[in-house]
A = this chain, B = another copy of it.
Amino acid sequence: MPTHCKACENTDSATKTLTDRGVRLTVLRRDVLQELHHAKQPLGAYDLFDNLKSAGKASAPPAVYRVLDFLVEQGLAHKLRSLSAYAACCLGPHAHQAIFLICRSCGTVNECDIAAPKSLTDTAKSTGFRIEDITIEAMGTCRSCTEAPN
């Protein structure tokens, strides 16, 4: 493994963010985050669990779920509800509205930093609904899978 691994750099940078926030960065948390950063696709909680387990790094599912909740809370990972899976945030560790384009065919996910639709925030505002969390996910087929179907 070369020194210049983009995924590791991302992990390091996220790690630094946590430290700066005064939040505790444990080995397990870092391991999970690292796995997510190295994955080409979102990983299910049990994918993560199995990997960490094999490496002698995780004990049981609850540990993994706790870490995932933590990472999502900290804005370092996202839960993709359409997949029941998790992905490292690739847009910086600030809270943001992320939108996902998920390819049904190859499973890759494209995270976009676009604002919530105005019509949505307008509706919320006019009905007095306080938005706390937005999920926006588009399932479909990415260009390369369209052009070179399996």
Cross-chain contact B81 with A135 (CB below 8 angstroms):
yes
- Chain B residues within an 8 Å CB radius of A139: 131-135
Contact with B along A117-132 (1 / 0, CB 8 A): 1111001100111111
Q: How far is the CB of A11 from chain B (nearest CB, A)?
A: 26
Number of chain A residues whose Cβ lies closer than 8 Å to a Cβ of chain B: 35
Q: Tell me the residues in window 98-150 of chain A with beta carbons closer than 8 Å to chain B beta carbons.
A: 99, 101, 103-104, 110, 112, 114-120, 123-124, 127-143, 146
User: Is A82's CB within 8 Å of the partner chain B?
Assistant: yes
Given A82-B135, A137-B135, the answer on whether A143 and B117 have CB atoms closer than 8 Å is no
Instruction: Give chain A's interface residues, CB within 8 Å of chain B.
Output: 81-82, 99, 101, 103-104, 110, 112, 114-120, 123-124, 127-143, 146
- In the assembled complex, 30 residue pairs joining A and B whose CB atoms fall closer than 8 Å, in A order, are A81-B135, A101-B123, A101-B127, A104-B132, A110-B123, A110-B127, A110-B129, A112-B119, A112-B123, A114-B120, A117-B117, A117-B136, A120-B136, A120-B138, A127-B142, A128-B142, A128-B143, A130-B140, A130-B141, A130-B146, A132-B138, A132-B140, A133-B138, A133-B139, A133-B140, A134-B136, A134-B137, A134-B138, A135-B135, A136-B136
